[in-house]
Amino acid sequence: MNFRSLVEKQRNYFQKGSTKSYEFRLSMLQKLQSVIKEYESLFNEAMKNDMNKCPTEVYMTEIGMVLEELSFHIRHLSRWMRNKRVSTSIAQFPAKSFISPEPYGVALIMSPWNYPIQLCLLPLIGAISAGCTAVVKPSAYAPATSKAIAQILRMIFPEEYIAVVEGGRDQNRALLEEKFDYIFFTGSPAVGRLVMESAARYLTPITLELGGKSPVIVDKTANLKVAARRIAFGKVLNAGQTCVEPDYLFIHRDVKDEFIKWYKSALQEFFPNGRMTDMNTIINEKHFKRVSGLLESGKIVSGGNTDQERRFVEPTLLDEVPLDSPIMQEEIFGPILPMISFIHISECTDYIMNNPKPLALYLFTNDSSVEKYVLDICSFGGGCINDTIIHLANSNMGFGGVGNSGMGSYHGKRSFDTFTHYRSIVKKATWLDIPIRYRPYSKLKDKLLRIFLK
């Protein structure tokens, strides 16, 4: 595929103004909504092939989130598109001021393999709402799902409006050689740096949704049964291959043994009789070997089994994990939870603050002073108090990282904002033209300016 020709085709289509009307944007969102509902079974089959993902989890973490986001945009789009009147300084009298949203233009959306439907289509919804055209690049690591995404998008959108590029690193590199008006990338910090370097060539604005090691803290006041269950949910979901998974656990020394008991109980509840045949598998052989190797970083107190033939890693709890162990040096992206005991909450916050800012932080406590202390001290993308993962499912809040875990945010109106440039406009009346600002300057003009401009 000639990517330069594709981008120019989209730019020409955009410049004709075809994508900018409310009626067009709304109809495109509705088309996408309709086809996703109609072809849900296609996505279920694809995700089963790629990751052994069961239909319930596909809906909860992929299809359902996309449909909810579409409904949110369809309800609010008209209001978001309006010019917003703002007050005008008396120094600019007579005039009125307003903020006018306009689409950036041709967007590139590069999505990862771990949630290949959601992380591809949620940014695309923002681009459509904002009035952009888009080139979508799904991950080659989830080939069946990439093919399904390409099939449905090509079914409803012309290439000059929404195009899908399949393939691997060669296609990624070639796309980044082109001049886009906006780039939205979701993936690792290492690749994010390369994307940012490419964007800098054309001074292209960019959103980076990256990852990192997201801590979870359980203090001695926490409801341990609930904490264990919700942390286990976050670790088992997608076999731990989640950018906001609870990556490692700070557990208060006095409640560690009871927490372990409830964690094991939660896993028994999730998988009756230990049957885990419908749990997600690790995406490929390379990642399976990497995740399996991390099991040696501590003492296994629950789980620990693997099956190389189907790339399966059992949900595992590790104890006695040194802070300099391999599992604490990289994002796990697997269902292994390392535990670190603590006595004082400052031990947790000191460690968190002295490492790259995480995408998420989770705190389980019933002590409001501890909650305030952690939120005041720690910087992170987003998170939960007494839960995991669920903060990203609220369309009323933006989702994104900070520092090493990313820049920019999306979901709900923040997705519209991401692909929108807000123009600041003053409309000046012509019936009066106050001469204070014009030369020649004088002491009187200087005095009047100092009265009005302060």
Q: How far is the C-alpha of 151 from the C-alpha of 145, rounded, in Å?
A: 10
pLDDT of residue 272: 94
Which tens digit of pLDDT belongs to each residue from 239-297? 999 999 999 999 999 999 999 999 999 999 999 998 999 999 999 999 999 999 999 99
Residue 395 token pair: 């369309």
Class of domain 215-393: alpha beta
pLDDT of residue 332: 97
Q: Which sequence positions are flagged as catalytic? A: 209, 243
pLDDT of residue 248: 98
Give this prediction's pTM. 0.96
Domain coordinates in residue numbering, the chain:
3-210+403-422, 215-393
Greatest C-alpha distance within the chain: 90
Q: How far is the C-alpha of 310 from the C-alpha of 399, rounded, in Å?
A: 33
Class of domain 3-210+403-422: alpha beta
Q: How far is the C-alpha of 291 from the C-alpha of 313, rounded, in Å?
A: 8
pLDDT of residue 454: 80
Q: Decide whether 3-210+403-422 matches 215-393 in CATH topology.
A: no
Is 146 within 8 Å of 138 (Cβ atoms)? yes
- Kindly give, in sequence order, each residue whose CB lies less than 8 Å from that of residue 80, ignoring residues fewer than 6 positions away: 101, 129, 413, 416
Which tens digit of pLDDT belongs to each residue from 12-68? 999 999 999 999 999 999 999 999 999 999 999 999 999 999 999 999 999 999 999
**Residue 59 burial by CB count (10 A; 0-12/13-18/19+): exposed, middle or buried?**
middle
Which of 116, 121, 122, 348 has its CA nearest to residue 222? 348
Q: Which stretches in the chain have pLDDT values below 70? A: none
The backbone torsions φ and ψ at residue 395, rounded to the nearest 5 degrees and listed phi first, read -65, -10
pLDDT of residue 81: 98
pLDDT of residue 1: 78
Q: How far is the C-alpha of 124 from the C-alpha of 149, rounded, in Å?
A: 12
Q: Three-state SS across the chain?
A: CCHHHHHHHHHHHHHCCCCCCHHHHHHHHHHHHHHHHHCHHHHHHHHHHHHCCCHHHHHHHHHHHHHHHHHHHHHHHHHHHCCEEECCCHHHCCEEEEEEEEECCEEEEECCCCCCCHHHHHHHHHHHHHCCEEEEECCCCCHHHHHHHHHHHHHHCCCCCEEECCCCHHHHHHHHCCCCCEEEEECCHHHHHHHHHHHHHCCCCEEEECCCCCEEEECCCCCHHHHHHHHHHHHHHHHHCCCCCCCEEEEEHHHHHHHHHHHHHHHHHHCHHHCCCCCCCCCCHHHHHHHHHHHHHCEEEECCCEEHHHCEECCEEEECCCCCCHHHCCCCCCCEEEEEEECCHHHHHHHHHCCCCCCEEEEECCCHHHHHHHHHHCCCCEEEECCCCHHHHCCCCCECCCHHHEECCECCHHHHHHCEEEEEEEEECCCCCCHHHCCCCCHHHHHHHHHHCC
